[in-house]
């Protein structure tokens, strides 16, 4: 279980945890130990685990207000993940050589109320919702394998200015098996931007990536099994002479498709898919 830490401002030796929760409360800009929590570490500090940031007593910090939340006599390394900031604001975190500092950048022009990632067969589906938007130009979707170095993999247009809730989706096609991190960079029409929280997903082993046909040989029904079928698929049945015999249309989402081939003469046949699969089957008497 994660270990909870609620710092005040008293120095003490600090052991390194690999899975902990650091709760930091901000009440004013009066300074560490008076206006907000600060963890003082005697020695090196390795940031890891969850950071929760809470505003107390209705505190509304001014833009560009900074809060030093960790101070170490040694070296600061690592990063917190995830970081749960107070809703509705734009925050940044800086890992310096011997301290960790939060900065409040101001209200978010876009109120992001949900951001999730889920595996969908070979792909990853990202979905998010906004409660309101002000001058929202677009969202840039960022992807990382280590949670630190991100690259843009997509761009989704925003809704400008609206007080209505909006929903968005983006599909990351065929990522590798293993850990994946995603974040959104929201960009205003004037070029200003802000970053969302980071979401994590462990992409599972890929399903069987080969289309299968059975029973083979067959004298009646033939079943085609798709490893995935995100798009409408066309199956073209061709005889051994290369003559087109039949075309079958398969709807997106179909994983098992059956066809009656009992009327075909005995012989060798080929099934060609517009998705790039080519299979052979034998029709018996």
Q: In angstroms, rounded to a whole number, what is the distance separating the alpha carbons of residues 67 and 56?
A: 14
What is the chain's mean pLDDT, rounded? 85
CA distance 109 to 71: 32
Task: Name the maximum alpha-carbon separation found in the chain.
Answer: 89
pLDDT of 229 reads 63
- pLDDT, tens digit (0-9, with 9 covering 90-100), for 192-210: 888 888 999 988 765 555 6
**Residue range(s) in the chain whose domain bears CATH number 2.60.40.10:** 110-203
Please determine, for residue 1, whether its predicted confidence score (pLDDT) is greater than 70. Answer: no
Give the whole-angstrom CA distance, residue 230 versus residue 251: 9
Mean pLDDT, range 204-231, rounded to an integer: 76
Question: 110-203 has which fold?
Answer: Immunoglobulin-like (2.60.40)
Separation of alpha carbons 101 and 211, rounded Å? 53
Q: What is the pLDDT of residue 121?
A: 66
3-state helix, strand, coil in the chain (%, to 5): 0, 60, 40
Q: What angle do CA 221, 226, 232 make, to 5 degrees?
A: 100
pLDDT above 80: residue 275 = no
* Res. 263: pLDDT tops 60: yes
For the domain made up of 212-283, the CATH class stated in words is mainly beta
pLDDT, tens digit (0-9, with 9 covering 90-100), for 127-155: 999 988 889 999 999 999 988 899 999 99
pTM confidence score: 0.47
The arithmetic mean of pLDDT across residues 75-86, rounded, is 91
CATH 2.60.40.2550 range(s) for the chain read 212-283
pLDDT surpasses 50 at 12: no
User: Mind listing the pLDDT tens digit for each residue in 101-134?
Assistant: 999 987 777 888 889 998 876 788 899 999 888 8
Peptide bond just before 133 cis, omega within 30 deg:
no
């Amino acid at each position: 279980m994660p270990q909870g830490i609620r710092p005040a401002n008293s120095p003490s030796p600090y052991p390194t945890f690999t899975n902990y929760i650091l709760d930091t409360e901000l009440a004013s800009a009066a300074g560490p130990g008076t206006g907000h929590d600060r963890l003082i570490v005697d020695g090196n500090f390795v940031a890891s685990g969850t950071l929760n940031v809470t505003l107390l007593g209705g505190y509304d910090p001014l833009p560009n207000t900074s809060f030093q939340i960790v101070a170490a006599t040694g070296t600061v390394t690592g990063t917190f993940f995830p970081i749960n900031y107070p809703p509705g604001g734009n925050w940044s975190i800086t890992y310096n050589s011997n301290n960790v500092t939060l900065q409040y950048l101001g209200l978010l022009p876009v109120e992001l109320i949900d951001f999730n990632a889920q595996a969908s067969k070979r792909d990853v589906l990202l979905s998010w919702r906004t409660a309101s938007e002000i001058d929202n130009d677009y969202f840039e979707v960022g992807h990382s394998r280590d949670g630190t170095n991100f690259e843009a993999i997509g761009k989704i247009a925003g809704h400008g200015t609206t007080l209505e809730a909006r929903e968005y989706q983006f599909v990351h096609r065929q990522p590798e098996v293993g850990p994946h991190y995603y974040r959104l960079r929201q960009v205003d029409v004037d070029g200003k931007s802000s970053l969302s929280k980071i979401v994590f997903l462990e992409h599972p082993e890929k399903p069987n990536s080969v289309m299968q046909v059975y029973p083979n040989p067959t004298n009646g029904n033939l079943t085609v099994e798709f490893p995935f079928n995100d798009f409408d698929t066309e199956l073209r049945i061709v005889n051994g002479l290369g003559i087109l015999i039949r075309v079958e249309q398969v709807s997106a989402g179909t994983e098992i498709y059956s066809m009656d081939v009992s009327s075909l003469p005995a012989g060798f046949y080929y099934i060609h898919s517009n998705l790039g699969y080519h299979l052979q089957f034998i029709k018996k008497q």
